[in-house]
Amino acid sequence: MPEFSRNRTPKRSLLNLPMLWKKPTPRTVLVIGGAGYIGSGLVTKLLNRGHKVRVLDLLFYGTEPIQSVLNHPNLEVIQADFRRVDQLVSCMQGVDAVIHLGAIVGDPACALNQDLTIEVNLMATRTIAEVARGYGIRRFIFASTCSVYGANENDELLTESSPLNPVSLYAVSKLASEQVLMAMASDTFSPTCLRFSTIYGLSGRTRFDLVVNLLTAKAVMDGEITVQGGDQWRPFLHVDDAALAVLHTLESPLDRIHKEVFNVGSDEQNRTIQQIGEMIQQMVPAASLINMGSGGDRRDYKASFNKIRTQLGFVPQWTLTEGIRQVIELIASGAVTDYREAKYSNVKFLTEAEKVAGLVRHESRWAYDLIRQTSQISQPRIAVAA
């Protein structure tokens, strides 16, 4: 294992924390996907702010991601499939807000089974929103992605109103879900869509299928940093800041979040993949930086985060350097012996666990039609089975 920098993550000043409403209204919050990568960190933050939390999760990865709060008196965990209407009806009893994080996440995982992706990412989102609206639950926060911007030829910061060009089924399914939710908005239903940047860093569930985490692990454990598509731009965001953004949205006044879409991240964390590789090499100098060429990923975009900063006052607390150091220190501790294990990768876990085929339940014509219409934004079009 190559040597690496042991500089500790600097302590962040409380003065730099984004403003949260000092006395939040205690809510009962349903977090769908609350035991996942973002959800595991979010649940802890919600509980610390005095909210009651009900988690609805299939618990593919067990309860380990939320182990530290499992015995909290204000936490209820329900292991169930969020596509089941009866489970949704039961879970929404007495709920004030819904945070929908549940999804098949990432281009490779979504490509494993298109039917399952459409069913989980789009069809279930509409069902969840319909049940929530039917129960008079006004606040509905949806986890979307900046991948909806896809391949962008202009060297400019993309705002929430910029042209969209999704190039994968994952991005198309998220954009179609945004359209469904915005169409459902009313005086009594206030959906908010958060377009997360490319996530990195550690939470209750560790992942090494994300570019920053993966390249850092390869640098420390393999002694090499293999970069593909190095000239492509991406905005980046620490997973802890993603959770913080959701909390911030939940506690914001309704008139600031009703029927709104926000890019989530910071302008200074727009970086090329090559720049990420160089940052990692500076912290793991014994690792070789290897350029593997263009690669097959067509995404290339930089995003503006002025709207969430000015409208909600949200500012990320983590830097890329701190996130990279966090992963380095985890590996150095011996907690991770093989970053290639299936449990650290969405696509590997779904493939090796042989759970994909058995999860498909049914198809719905409206969802397939909407996927086709949305994918026409992008060229070439994404093939969707009838």
Q: Model's pTM, two decimal places? A: 0.89
Residue 239 has pLDDT above 90, yes or no: yes
User: pLDDT at position 237, please?
Assistant: 98
**Under CATH, which number does the domain 27-202+236-267+300-316+349-375 receive?**
3.40.50.720
pLDDT digits (tens, 9 = 90+) for 45-55: 999 999 999 99
User: pLDDT at position 22, please?
Assistant: 61
pLDDT digits (tens, 9 = 90+) for 326-353: 999 999 999 999 999 999 998 888 887 5
Rounded Cα distance between 228 and 296, Å, is 8
Residue 380 has pLDDT above 90, yes or no: no
User: pLDDT at position 384, please?
Assistant: 41
**What average pLDDT does the chain have?**
88
Is residue 18 very low, low, confident or very high in pLDDT (cuts 50, 70, 90)? very low
Count CB neighbours of 86 within 10 A.
Answer: 8
User: pLDDT at position 229, please?
Assistant: 83
Q: Is the pLDDT higher at 107 or at 257?
A: 257
Residue 175 has pLDDT above 50, yes or no: yes
Q: What is the mean pLDDT of residues 311-329?
A: 97
Residue 363 has pLDDT above 70, yes or no: no
